[in-house]
């Protein structure tokens, strides 16, 4: 059973930084694509950032220049470094991984940015 477990969320003041981590377990294979999706109350789910096994990345316009996604494939772990956080970044952040065409999701970690 593949599991994704997020960590690193919390409360931070505007302008601050947080680093989210997501570790995949239950598989010896590395997900082809890993990423982060966020859901804020009353807002649509948004793909924040994504990284492939070849380290190609995608960043949403809303986080460009502030968030950086990276991964350590040997550890089946993906990171999201979030700098210059804004109150609008407040959301539940979910880790996603695609392995053999199947989507896997973590349970989410809450990021709260106070003004």
Task: Kindly state the tokens that stand for 62.
Answer: 């809303």
Chain segment 55-103, per-residue pLDDT in tens: 999 999 999 999 999 999 888 999 999 999 999 999 999 999 999 899 9
pLDDT band at 28, cuts 50/70/90? confident
Chain segment 13-24, per-residue pLDDT in tens: 999 999 999 999
Angle subtended at Cα 94 by Cα 89 and Cα 99, rounded to the nearest 5 degrees: 140
User: Which residues, in sequence order, are CB contacts of 100 under 8 Å at separation 6+?
Assistant: 29
Chain segment 29-58, per-residue pLDDT in tens: 788 899 999 999 999 999 999 999 999 999
């Amino acid at each position: 059973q593949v599991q994704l477990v997020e960590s690193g969320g919390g409360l931070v003041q505007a302008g601050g930084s947080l680093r989210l981590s997501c570790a995949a377990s239950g598989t010896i294979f590395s997900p082809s694509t890993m990423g982060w999706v966020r859901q804020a109350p009353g807002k649509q789910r948004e793909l924040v950032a994504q990284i492939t096994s070849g380290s190609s990345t995608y960043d949403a316009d809303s986080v460009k220049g502030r968030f950086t996604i990276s991964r350590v494939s040997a550890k089946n772990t993906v990171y999201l470094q979030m700098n210059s956080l804004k109150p609008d970044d407040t959301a539940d952040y979910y880790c996603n991984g695609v392995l053999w065409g199947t989507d896997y999701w973590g349970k989410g970690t809450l990021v709260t940015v106070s003004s």
